[in-house]
Amino acid sequence: MSEEELLALQHGPPDERLRAARQLLRTAARPDLDALKRIRQEERDAWVQFALDQAIRRVDDGAGAPEPQPVGYGDGLEASLLDDVRAQATASVTATFMHEINPLVGRIEAVARAEVPNYDEGKTAQAISRLKGLMEALRLLNEASKPPQAEDLDLTELIHQVGYELTVPNDVELVLVRDDPVAIVGDGNLIRLPVANALRNAIEACMAAPKREEVRRVVVNWGTTDRDAWVSVLDDGCGLPDGFDKVWEAGRTNKSRAEHYGMGLSIARAAAASVRGRLSLRPRESGGSAFEMRWPLERD
C-alpha cells in the first residue's frame, strides 16, 4: 500500500476513501493486511467498508489481484467507482427524504380521515394512497442502493420463491426452467428486486397483448459461468414500446399513471449496480421481449 493510498484512506473525504479502497482491490498485498483491518475497524462509511472487506478477503485468501472483468460490467475501476458513488448518493438522498416526508404523509392522512367526510370514498384518499405508493417506491430504491451483504444462496430457490409470490393469470404460463440447486454467494434482496420486476413486467406484457387461443408464456432461466451469474426472462407479450432505450429513466412508464410510478426499472438497475451487475432489455424477433441480468460471482 502506498503512502498516498494510506493517507487517502485515513484522512480523505468519503469519495477519496472509496477510490483508494477500490484501488486496493487491485494492489493490496499480504504486508498491507494489518493496516487494512485496522482502517476497516475505524471506517464508518458503508460503501468504503464494503470495498475494504473485499480487499481484505482477497488478501486473506491469497487470491491476489482480481481477474479483468468481462465486457459489459463497465470500463474498469472508474466505472465501478462511479456506480458506487451514485449508489451512495441515491441511498443518502432517499433515506433523508423518507425520514422527513413519511411522518408528514402519515399526519396528513390522519387529519384527512378526521376532517374529510366519507374519506375512503373520495379523491383525497386516492391522492394520499398514490403518495404512499410513491414513498414505497422510494423505499425500494433506497434498499436497492445499499451496499450488498454477501450470504450463501440457492439461486433456484430464490427464483422459485419470487415466482410463487406473483399473481399469474390463467391465460399466462410462467415457466421456471430449473429445479436443481444453483449455489452462489450474494445479496438475496438485491438480486430479488430486478428478478421480481422483470417477471412482473413480463406477465403484464402478456396480459396487454392481443388475446389468442394459445397461452402466452414467460420463460425464466438462470445459471452461472466461471465468473458470473445470470438470469434471463423471455416473454411473448406485447413487446417493448417505441423509445424503449429510455425505460431505465426514473418516471418513465407506458402504463397507467394512476397505478405506476415509472420507478420499477430504475430500482432494478440500482439493485443490479449494487452487486456490480448489468441489466439488458431488448425486443425478440419472434415478438415479446428478452430481459437479462448478469453479475460477477462473489467468492467464499
How confident is the model at residue 299, as a pLDDT?
A: 60
Residues 281 and 181 in one domain: yes
* Per-residue model confidence as pLDDT tens digits over 225-263: 998 999 999 999 988 877 666 555 554 554 444 554 456
- Supply the pLDDT for residue 69: 39
Q: What is the pLDDT of residues 32-46, one digit of tens each?
A: 888 888 888 888 776
Does residue 282 share a domain with residue 167?
yes
The Cα 216–Cα 208 span in angstroms is 11
Cell of 161: 420463491
Please indicate, yes or no, whether residues 155 and 290 belong to a single structural domain of this protein. yes
Residue 67 lies in a domain: no
Q: What's residue 72's pLDDT?
A: 35
Same domain, 177 and 291: yes
Output the domain CATH number for residue 272.
3.30.565.10
Residue 125: burial class (beta carbons within 10 Å; 0-12, 13-18, 19+) = middle
- Counting residues of the chain whose pLDDT is more than 90, the rounded percentage is 26
pLDDT confidence of residue 70: 37
What's the mean per-residue pLDDT of the chain? 79
Ranking 69-78, 113-122, 179-188 by mean pLDDT, the lowest is 69-78
Do 297 and 148 contact (CB within 8 A), yes or no? no
Residue 140: how many CB atoms within 10 A of its CB? 20
Give the pLDDT mean for 68-89: 48
- Asked if residue 11 is part of any domain, the answer here is yes
Q: Which pLDDT value is given to residue 62?
A: 65
Residue 78 belongs to some domain of the structure: no
Residue 285's pLDDT is what?
86
Q: Are strands 289-296 and 228-235 parallel, antiparallel or unpaired?
A: antiparallel
Mean pLDDT on 280-286? 88
Looking at the fold, whether 33 and 158 belong to one and the same domain comes out as no
Residues 84-123: tens digit of each pLDDT? 555 655 666 667 767 677 788 888 989 999 999 888 888 8
Number of Cβ within 10 Å of residue 54's Cβ equals 19
**Is pLDDT of 56 > 60?**
yes
Least confident window among 10-14, 95-99, 220-224, 232-236: 95-99
Last residue of a domain, one of 22, 40, 61: 61
Res 63 pLDDT > 60 = no
For residue 38, is it within any domain?
yes
With a CB cutoff of 8 Å and minimum separation 6, the contacts of 195 are 158, 159, 162, 231, 233, 293
Q: 28 in a domain, yes or no?
A: yes
Neighbours of 18 (CB within 10 A): 24
Asked if 156 and 46 sit in the same domain, the reply is no
Mean pLDDT check: name the lowest of 5-9, 68-72, 115-119, 284-288: 68-72
pTM above 0.75, yes or no: no
Task: Answer with the one of 22, 42, 61 that is the final residue of a domain.
Answer: 61
Please compute the mean of the pLDDT values over residues 11-15 and round it to a whole number: 76
Q: Which of 61, 79, 111 is the last residue of a domain?
A: 61
pLDDT band per the 50, 70, 90 thresholds, residue 223: very high
**Average pLDDT of span 40-69:** 70
Has residue 103 been placed in a domain?
A: no
Give the span between the Cα atoms of 129 and 125, in whole angstroms.
6
**What is the DSSP annotation of the chain?**
--HHHHHHHHHS-HHHHHHHHHHHHHH--GGGHHHHHHHHHH---HHHHHHHHHHHHHHHHT--SPPPPPTTS-SHHHHHHHHHHHHHHHHHHHHHHHHHHHHHHHHHHHHHHHHSTTGGGSHHHHHHHHHHHHHHHHHHHHHHTSPP--EEEEHHHHHHHHHHHS---TTEEEEE---S--EEEE-HHHHHHHHHHHHHHHHHHHHHSPP-SSPEEEEEEEEE-SSEEEEEEEE-SS-PPTTGGGTTSTT--SS-TTT--S-HHHHHHHHHHHTT-EEEEEE-TTSSEEEEEEEEPP--
The model's pLDDT over 127-182, given as tens digits with 9 standing for 90+, comes to 888 788 777 777 777 777 777 788 899 999 999 999 999 989 999 999 999 999 99
pLDDT confidence tier of residue 191, bands split at 50, 70 and 90: very high
Residue 207 located in a structural domain: yes
Q: Which residues are within 8 A (CB) of 13 and not within 5 positions of it... i.e. 6 or more apart?
A: none
Residue 152's CB is within 10 A of a number of other CB atoms, namely: 11
The domain in which residue 27 lies consists of: 3-61
**Reading across the β-sheet that carries 289-296, which strands appear in turn?**
172-176, 216-224, 228-235, 289-296, 278-283
Q: Is 21 exposed, middle or buried (0-12, 13-18, 19+ CB in 10 A)?
A: buried
Neighbouring C-beta atoms of residue 59, cutoff 10 Å? 20
Give the count of domains, the chain: 2
Is residue 279 domain-resident? yes
